[in-house]
Amino acid sequence: MTILPIHLYGRPALKKKAKAVQGIDDDLRKLVGDMFDTMRNAHGIGLAANQVGILKRVVVVDISDMDEWKDVPPMALLNPEVLKEEGTWVMEEGCLSIPEVRDDIERAESITVTYRDMDFKTQKLKAKGLLARVLLHEIDHLNGVLFLDHLGAVKQKLLKGRLNKIRRGEVEVGYPVTVDGVSMIEENK
């Protein structure tokens, strides 16, 4: 598998809506495998295809390294859609595409999601807590929405300087990234 460069804040793919996957083929299987490798290499728990510059409705999630969630298997979701949201809770979030920026975000505490699995069969998933949060965060990516978009105008304005540095690639991360169309793989290893 291949570790793909993650697109940093400011890259156009992060603000575009991804297109539905029409079926499974070898290219899609490779993309999903590469996304899992990329996410794990960056020590993430979720990754949307937009974050690697691919505008397909594909999300990978793996929260099994966390004790409370060790029984939740890694999952790939194709064309995920939220059917129902219940309750709310606030938790600090971050994003591999927006390194070094974290903030409290209010999201639904439990959700019901429909999606296609890697056999392209329709599945329904009820998720709560961290799993629900990760799924909502990644589905937002597929819709061109960043976690920053959930912040108020004042907080967004306060982050502007840091976000401009990220947009220019003036951030140190331990994984390959893409800034202004330039892959910065070597510089960030």
> 133 and 149 in contact (C-beta within 8 Å)?
no
pLDDT tens, position by position, 34-80: 999 999 999 999 999 999 999 999 999 999 988 888 888 999 999 99
Taken in order of first residue, the domains within the chain and their CATH numbers are 6-188 (3.90.45.10)
- For 177, the enclosing helix (H) or strand (E) is strand 177-179
Q: How many CB atoms lie within 10 A of CB 109?
A: 16
- Residue that the structure tokens 């004042």 belong to: 154
Q: Which residues are catalytic?
A: 138
pLDDT tens, position by position, 76-127: 999 999 999 999 999 999 999 999 999 999 999 999 999 999 999 999 999 9
* pTM beyond 0.85: yes
Residues written for the chain: 189
- Contacts of residue 99, Cβ cutoff 8 Å, sequence gap at least 6: 8, 166, 171, 173
CA distances from 155 to 37, 104, 135, 150, 165 (A): 33, 11, 24, 10, 16
Structure tokens at 46: 């979720």
Q: Inform me whether the pLDDT recorded for 187 exceeds 80.
A: no
pLDDT tens, position by position, 127-165: 999 999 999 999 999 999 999 999 999 999 999 999 999
